[in-house]
Amino acid sequence: MRALAEAGTGTGGTAPARAPERRGGRGYAFDNDGDHAAEQHECLAAAYDPVTTRRLARTGVGAGWRCLEVGAGGGSVGVWLARRVAPEGRAVVTDIKPARIPREPAMAVRRHDIVRDALPERAFDLIHARLVLMHLPEREDVLARLFRALRPGGWLQLDELDATRAPGLLMPDAAAGRLFDTFQRAKLRALEASGADPAWGARAPAAMRRAGFAEVDPQPHVTAWRAGSPGARLQAHHTRHLRDALIGAGMTEAELRQLRRLFSCPDFCACSPVFYTVQGRRP
Ligand SMILES: C[S@@+](CC[C@H](N)C(=O)[O-])C[C@H]1O[C@@H](n2cnc3c(N)ncnc32)[C@H](O)[C@@H]1O
């Protein structure tokens, strides 16, 4: 087990590389170092950063705060935090595969497995994780670790999806609607097969309360996915990034091509899954 550098220290380097673990033959459904990762990070940042940072700002995060960003992916939220807390504060920005996280003066980037690697206790004023715990079968244990890593009064913000329902609203024709539904079901199967809980976003507030958090405050966010929107681009991205899992779940290459056309069709509109930002504080 390797320790995460304490908040307020660190040079911005990363610990030595090592392979991420897959637990029980399952593991993170995407990957963070393949050809598709940059596109995924760009889509996630475009779709969710405005909601995430608006909510984070309401904690009052500012100069001097010690923050932890867990499973940072492309690091856009970590960069936002580092700029908020500079110059005296520090954002420790972690991922099991941190190679794509950019560097900022008030930022320490760490390779860190939030399930297994050591975390300092009572160290952070604010911890944020977006679309990470839903992928981890050990999510409730992780929540307990995040609780202990906060100083009393410190904030946790979890941003998570309930991906179980994202109905098509407008389709060019009935066949496109059926294809979209098939895609949604196949994606849920692929996520579940990897150990993810696609409905975790709706369960996270109660889990946070069980873990001891006070002032638990979930905010649901829903938007329309139209052609060219970040959400529609993210769906097209999933047809590429999750290609093998979707084929394994019964879809064909031809269907995946049709879906890519559908997501750029002006007649397409779907309701996004509910994206929950859930805040709570360590008493
Ligand atoms: C869906 S991406 C979300 C990335 C980023 N939080 C965002 O919303 O843009 C999930 C991220 O969690 C990371 N991850 C997966 N398992 C992890 C673990 N056990 N510990 C730390 N990070 C992990 C992945 O490498 C990936 O970058």
Domains of the chain are 25-281 (3.40.50.150)
Q: Residue 13 has what pLDDT? A: 36
Residue 256's closest CA among 169, 190, 164?
190
Compute, in angstroms, the gap from residue 42 CA to the centroid of ligand 1. 14
Helices 174-193 and 230-241: crossing angle in degrees, nearest 10, is 60
Check residue 3 and give its pLDDT.
55
Q: What is the pTM of this model?
A: 0.92
Is 32 near ligand 1, meaning CB less than 6 Å away?
Answer: yes
Ligand 1, pocket-test mutation among 51, 132, 158, 194, most atoms within 8 A of CB: 132
Output the CA 173–ligand 1 centroid distance in Å: 36
* CA 21–ligand 1 middle distance (angstroms): 13
Residue 37, pLDDT score: 80
Euclidean distance between CA atoms 82 and 130, whole angstroms: 16
Closest residue (by CA) to atom 1 of ligand 1? 131
Mean pLDDT per block of 10 residues along the chain (283 residues) reads 44 36 56 76 95 98 98 97 98 96 96 97 98 96 98 98 95 97 94 93 98 98 95 93 90 96 96 97 98
End-to-end CA distance of the chain: 28
